[in-house]
Amino acid sequence: MIDKFVASALEAVADVKDGMTVLIGGFGQVGTPNHLIEALCERGVCDLTVVSNNAGTGTHGLARLMAEGRVRKVICSYPRSRGSVVLEELYREGRIQLEVVPQGTMAERLRAAGAGIPAFWTPTGAGTQLGEGKEVRAFDGRACVLEHALKGDVALIEAWEADRWGNLTYRKSGRNFNPVMAMAAELTIVQAQHRVPLGALDPERIVTPGVFVDRVVHIPYGAPRLW
């Protein structure tokens, strides 16, 4: 019997090791797997590269992981948000590396990793500071830059419903980066609000098939914070 559920967030992240690249789903606080991130803090791993749209707010979740000095580098599109004080301080002090990537390029680099595409051309960023140092080629007269797939060792995902095969649904704007990150890592770990029996999810409604998921922990925490 396939059963991807584990008993705790700590057990779910047991194989995350120092130096790994960790993809973290969510946009703002919605769809962000904060309990899995907190479990990484508890485990005490360090030297991580984190890929996430935002770079943490307040002192919880990703902000805590960074404040504890566990993150070597952040790859994100929008590090500055309301309350992103930890990142700004670490960056100012030169204690964290930051790679800013256009949001759509980040999504597509992740998609490429999950889909077996090593690199792709995009007009996004061509001729700008974020395109500097990248290969450039014109298509139909338009300059494009070469972008490479962005693969994770681990993905931390938040879902709405999950069954024991790891089939997932999402809630409203909580979908965001979660499905694409679930496909882009060697080990995909999910925290789900609702645990449902196998067969209970309408197959037409499953957004992430369980083939992309390795572990699930049931964490019915309620609604996300606003920030």
Partner 1 sequence: MDTAVDVKPLDRHGMARRLAADIPEGWVVNLGIGIPTLVSDHVPPEREVIFQSENGVIGVGPAPASEDEDLWLINAGKQLVTLRPGGSFVSQSDSFALIRGGHLDLCVLGAFEVAENGDIANWAVSSNEKAPAVGGAMDLAAGAKRLWAIMEHTTKDGRPRLVRRCSYPLTALGVVSRVYTNLAVLDVTPEGFVVREMVPGLTPEALQARTEAKLRFAA
Which member of 33, 56, 61, 125 binds partner 1 (CB under 8 A)?
125
Q: Does 77 bind partner 1 (CB under 8 A)?
A: yes
User: Tokens 């990793």 label which residue?
Assistant: 113
Which member of 78, 134, 194, 209 binds partner 1 (CB under 8 A)?
78
Residues 148-207 that bind partner 1 (CB under 8 A): 170-180, 207
Residues 1-60 that bind partner 1 (CB under 8 A): 27-30, 53, 55
Q: In degrees to the nearest 10, what's the CA dihedral of 170, 172, 178, 183?
A: 60
Number of chain positions touching partner 1 (CB under 8 A):
54
205 vs 120: CA distance, rounded Å: 30
Q: Does 111 bind partner 1 (CB under 8 A)?
A: yes
The tokens for 115 are: 């889909």
147 vs 13: CA distance, rounded Å: 30
Report the DSSP pairing between strands 152-162 and 168-169: antiparallel
R_g of the chain computed on alpha carbons: 18
Least separation in angstroms between CB 91 and partner 1: 5
Residues in contact with partner 1 by CB under 8 A are: 27-30, 53, 55, 77-82, 84, 87-88, 91-92, 98, 100-105, 107-108, 110-111, 122-130, 170-180, 207, 223-227
